[in-house]
Copies of this chain bind each other. A is one copy, B any other.
Amino acid sequence: MDILTSVLEMKEWSRDKRAQGRAIGFVPTMGYLHEGHLSLIRRCRAENDGVVVSLFVNPTQFGPGEDLDRYPRDLAADSCKCTDLGSDVLFTPNGPEMYGPNYYTFVEVERLSGVLCGASRPGHFRGVATVVLKLFNIVSPTRAYFGAKDYQQLQVIQTMVRDLDLDVRIVSCETVREPDGLAMSSRNVYLAPAERAQAVCLYQALRAAERLFQNGENRADEYLRVMRDRITDEPDARPDYISLVNPDTLEDLREVGDRALAVLAVRFGKTRLIDNMLFENGKN
C-alpha cells in the first residue's frame, strides 16, 4: 500500500488508473478507524479495481471550541488496518496541502445544512461539503463510500453530487454497532465508563421509535415523547436534538406516513454522539 501525502501524487495515481479504465473506490475518513470504517473499506475493496482511503482531520468542519485539537489520531494503527484490508493508497494530506494561506472557496448546500447537526454546529456541513468536493476532485473516484450513521452528511453530499453534476456514485453503508447497539464512532473513545454504559440510550430510543412505526403510530409527537423519555432516563445524557423528519428534506414531520427518519444527538459531558434510524413501510 502506498501512503501519499501530496495532492499532485494522488492525482497522478488516479489519472493513471482512470486512463487504464479502472474503477476507483474511495473511503474518505478522519482516521482513528473503527469497525464502521473497516466495513466501508471491505465493501469498497469488493466493488472496485483500486481502493483509496483518505485520512484527513478536516479543520473547516470543526467550529470554535469543538474537538479539533483533541480529535483522536493513530496513523500507525490506521495504516495497518488499511493494508490488511487490501487498500491500494492511504492518502494523508497535511493542512497546508489542502488549505493554502489564501484559501477562499467554500461549498454550501442550502436547506439541508442548517437543520439538525447544522443548527448546533454552524458551518459544519459547509466544511464537510467543501473538503469532500476537494477530495473527489483529487481522487476522481468512481464510487465513494459513506456510513449511514452520518445520515445528514450523506444527504448533503448526495445533493452536492447531483447539483454540481459530479460523476461519482455515492454508496451508503449501514451503521455498524457495538454488541449493545451503540453506533461505532471515533468519538466513543472519549466516553468515561459510566457514560459508555448510558450511551446505549440513543439506540434504545431509536428502537422504541421503530416499534411505534411498526405499530402504525402516525403522531410525530408520540415518537418524540418516547425517544425523549428514554434519553432523559440516563442521568448524564443531555439531548442536543431529538427529531422525526422527512428523510429527503430533513424537515420535521408532524404526521408520519410511509417513510420517516428518527435522528438524535446527545451529549455526555463534552462528548456529542449522534445516531439515526430510517423507517420505511414494507421494509421494516
Q: Check A38 for interface membership: any CB of B closer than 8 A.
A: no
B112 touches A137 (CB 8 A): no
A137 touches B164 (CB 8 A): yes
User: Across the interface, which residues of B come within 8 angstroms of A167, CB to CB?
Assistant: 11, 137
A69 to B102: give the CA distance in the assembly, Å: 37
Give Cα distance in the complex from A164 to B134, angstroms: 5
* Cross-chain contact A105 with B106 (CB below 8 angstroms): no
Q: Collect the chain B residues with CB atoms within 8 Å of residue A137's CB.
A: 164-167
List B contacts of A212 (CB < 8 A). none
Tell me how far the C-beta of A147 lies from the nearest C-beta in chain B, rounded to whole angstroms. Answer: 22
Q: A7 CB to closest chain B CB, in angstroms?
A: 6
A97-115 residues at the B interface, CB under 8 angstroms: 100, 102-112
Chain A 129-172, CB-CB to B under 8 Å as 1, else 0, gives 10001100110000000000000000000011011111100000
Question: Do A163 and B110 touch (CB < 8 A)?
Answer: no
Q: Which of chain B's residues have a CB closer than 8 A to the CB of A138?
A: 165
**Which residues of chain B have C-beta atoms less than 8 A from A105's C-beta?**
107-110, 129, 159-160, 163-164
Cβ-closest chain B residue relative to A7 = B165
In A112-131, which residues have CB < 8 Å from any B CB? Answer: 112, 129
Among A64-121, those with CB < 8 Å from B are 100, 102-112
With a cutoff of 8 Å between Cβ atoms, the chain B residues found around residue A106 in the complex are 107-108, 110
Q: Does the CB pair B164–A133 fall under 8 Å? A: yes
Given A134-B165, A138-B165, 11 additional A-B pairs, CB 8 A:
A11-B165, A11-B167, A102-B159, A104-B163, A105-B109, A105-B129, A105-B160, A105-B163, A106-B110, A107-B107, A137-B167
- By a beta-carbon cutoff of 8 Å, the part of chain A in contact with chain B is 7, 11, 100, 102-112, 129, 133-134, 137-138, 159-160, 162-167
Sort A-B residue pairs by CB-CB distance and give the 4 closest, nearest first: A105-B163, A137-B165, A104-B110, A105-B109
Can you give 5 contacting A-B residue pairs, CB < 8 Å?
A105-B107, A105-B129, A106-B110, A134-B163, A137-B164
